[in-house]
């Protein structure tokens, strides 16, 4: 693993491929549950939030822009050659607002749901991907979109909430 700029701590990932680049300011939690493929790039000041259970897997050739937040409490699987723009947020847990309704939402049980992003996807800057979403191969997510449900392969999605607006070529 190498870095540009000031360097990175010697984290003990479950697995770390050749040619991985972590830019300055990247924060990593629970590296023992993180798998990085070959030639993965993670931009400045991103937070890679592994969890004490489940796995965060980023496959070969994936590029993650600056100031991203990847959360893997429910499991997060990012395919090969995926582009993730600056400021993207990917979440795998949420408060269960239907249970224990007499309690403040902050203190209600947490639901965990994995996120899967297929090979060749591109997620535009500042998009948000919510728990339980699966994106097929080569899905283009427009900048600023909020992805609340799954989409099949080779589509372009945009909006809040994201909806299909065309075919990816």
Q: Catalytic residue among 30, 71, 95, 107, which?
A: 95
CB 70 within 8 A of CB 109: no
Distance, CA of 158 to CA of 107 (rounded, Å) = 32
Distance, CA of 146 to CA of 137 (rounded, Å) = 18
Block residue for tokens 């939030």: 49
Q: Tell me the Ramachandran region of residue 58: left when phi exceeds 0, alpha when psi lies from -120 to 50, beta otherwise.
A: beta
Tokens, residue 67: 């100031």
User: In 3D, which of 76, 88, 105 has the Cα closest to residue 141?
Assistant: 88
Is position 95 annotated as part of the catalytic site?
yes
Tell me the CA distances in angstroms from 100 to 94, 106, 113, one per residue in order: 14, 11, 19
Q: What is the largest CA-CA distance in the chain?
A: 51
Active site residue ranges: 95
């Amino acid at each position: 693993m190498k870095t540009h700029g000031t360097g990175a701590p010697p984290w003990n990932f479950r697995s770390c491929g050749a040619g991985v680049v972590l830019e300055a300011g990247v924060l990593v939690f629970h590296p023992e549950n993180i798998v990085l493929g070959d030639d993965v790039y993670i931009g400045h000041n991103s937070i890679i939030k592994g969890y004490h259970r489940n796995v965060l897997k980023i496959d070969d050739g994936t590029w993650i822009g600056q100031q991203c937040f990847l959360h893997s409490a429910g499991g997060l699987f990012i395919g090969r050659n995926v582009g993730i723009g600056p400021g993207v947020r990917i979440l795998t847990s949420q408060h269960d607002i239907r249970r224990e309704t007499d309690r403040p939402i902050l203190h209600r049980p947490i639901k965990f749901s994995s996120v899967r992003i297929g090979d060749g996807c591109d997620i535009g800057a500042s998009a948000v991907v919510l728990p339980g979403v699966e994106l097929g191969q080569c899905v283009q997510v427009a900048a600023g979109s909020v992805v609340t449900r799954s989409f099949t392969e080779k589509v372009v999605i945009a909006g809040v909430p994201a909806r299909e607006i065309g075919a990816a070529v």
